[in-house]
A = this chain, B = another copy of it.
Amino acid sequence: MRGRAATIGSVPEPTIYDIARRAGVGIATVSRVLNGHQRVTEATRAAVQRAMDDLGYRPNRAARRLAAGGPNRPRIAALLPLFSTDFYASVARPIAHELMAADMDLVLYDVANREAKNRLLDRIVDERACEALILCSMGVGPERQQQFAQRHIPYICVDYQLPGVPSVHVDNVAGSALATRHLREAGAKRIALVGGPLTAHAFRDREQGFLSVAGPVAPVLRAATATRDAARAAVRELLHADPAIDGLVCVNDQLAVGALEELAALGRRVPDEVQVMGFDDQPLMDALGLSTIRQPMVMFGSWAAQAIIRRVNQPTADIPSAELALTLVSRRTTRPLGKSSGSRRKTSA
């Protein structure tokens, strides 16, 4: 049952009819002052203005647009943990640019957790707030998918695989395995994982990739949150429990930075005593000299933009999912390999 859902029990929002009545004028006049037309006497103008102030009038945007006959530009909503890591800013940028070029509106929603995601999606669906959806690093359950289908809302996933849903993603398992192998090849004997909350699918995969090469009993400690401080605590605990650890695989760059800080505080030299690998290659990691696994962030965004554009323009089109390549970037937190192999290689995944 819908209706005036927003104003349950409370006073209905005033309309121009209310304003007109209160100011003793016609609705057209109200509309005129609302739009700043010049042909209005200052007196009546003031009267209308007062009426609006008194009643706390706020124009209804939907009605204005409908009446004015403005363009019905497609609106794309993108849900992502925008403020959690620079990674997301990097994928959001190409999305924003390409969508703007395609004359579509992009609305960025920062989603910090599953609960926030569901609240937001409920609202978006209920209010038909967008024509299409980009889900970044997150999935949706079957009931939600059904809801989207029923409402004819096309959607795609970025950095997340969902069966039957067009998506761009990487092989996190392989990437993490690559990182671990690199550490081993660089001479690390005892390698530990600085993991993250398993609510993040990527973290889970990377943990698995790590275990696949470091062995099932390799030390693993999951930071409580994907923050530098949590990483510091994890590393401290890890090294306290096993001082022989000489290699750290971190499930993302942010954690790696925290690890580096803690290592410095502990007086462990990097990479001589302990080597560190990150994951993402987010901005500034080169300046920090962090060895890491580079994610194709710009391509993520580009792909998402192109896919959603096609999806909106021809709803029946089939969009094949894509798996992008991960790149190993070796910098100063790992020892150079003895061999003559270059400093960058790609997964053959």
Binding site for B on A (CB under 8 A): 2-7, 13, 34-36, 53, 58-66, 68-75, 82-83, 86, 89, 92-93, 96-97, 105, 107-108, 110, 126-128, 131, 150-152, 228, 257, 260-261, 283-284, 287-288, 315-316
- Option from B4, B36, B108, B126 in Cβ contact (under 8 Å) with A69: B4
Q: List 28 A-B contacts (CB under 8 A).
A: A4-B69, A5-B71, A6-B69, A6-B70, A6-B71, A6-B72, A13-B72, A34-B152, A35-B151, A53-B316, A58-B131, A60-B72, A61-B128, A61-B131, A62-B65, A62-B70, A64-B128, A65-B128, A70-B128, A83-B92, A83-B93, A86-B89, A89-B89, A93-B110, A96-B110, A261-B287, A284-B288, A288-B288
Query: Measured between C-beta atoms, what is the minimum distance from A134 to chain B in Å?
Result: 14
**Known A53-B316, A110-B93, A284-B288: A72·B62 in contact at CB below 8 Å:** yes
B69 and A150: CB pair below 8 A?
no
A287 and B316: CB pair below 8 A?
no
Query: Measured between C-beta atoms, what is the minimum distance from A270 to chain B in Å?
Result: 13
- Option from B58, B74, B86 in Cβ contact (under 8 Å) with A58: B74
B83 and A89: CB pair below 8 A?
yes
Measured in the bound complex, the distance between the Cα atoms of B254 and A247 in whole Å is 30
A5 and B74: CB pair below 8 A?
no
Q: Which residues of B contact A69 (CB under 8 A)?
A: 2-7
The listed residue with most B CB atoms (<10 A of its CB), out of A62, A108, A150, is: A62
A257 and B72: CB pair below 8 A?
no
Measured in the bound complex, the distance between the Cα atoms of B60 and A75 in whole Å is 11
Nearest-neighbor residue (CB-CB) of A73 within chain B: B6
- Option from B2, B65, B93, B260 in Cβ contact (under 8 Å) with A127: B65
B152 and A36: CB pair below 8 A?
yes
**Known A284-B284, A287-B288: A58·B72 in contact at CB below 8 Å:** yes
Q: Which residues of B contact A131 (CB under 8 A)?
A: 58, 61
- Option from B5, B65, B257 in Cβ contact (under 8 Å) with A70: B5
Query: Measured between C-beta atoms, what is the minimum distance from A236 to chain B in Å?
Result: 17
List of 7 A-B pairs having minimum Cβ-Cβ separation, nearest first: A6-B71, A36-B150, A62-B65, A62-B66, A83-B93, A62-B62, A6-B69
- Option from B4, B34, B60, B96 in Cβ contact (under 8 Å) with A66: B60
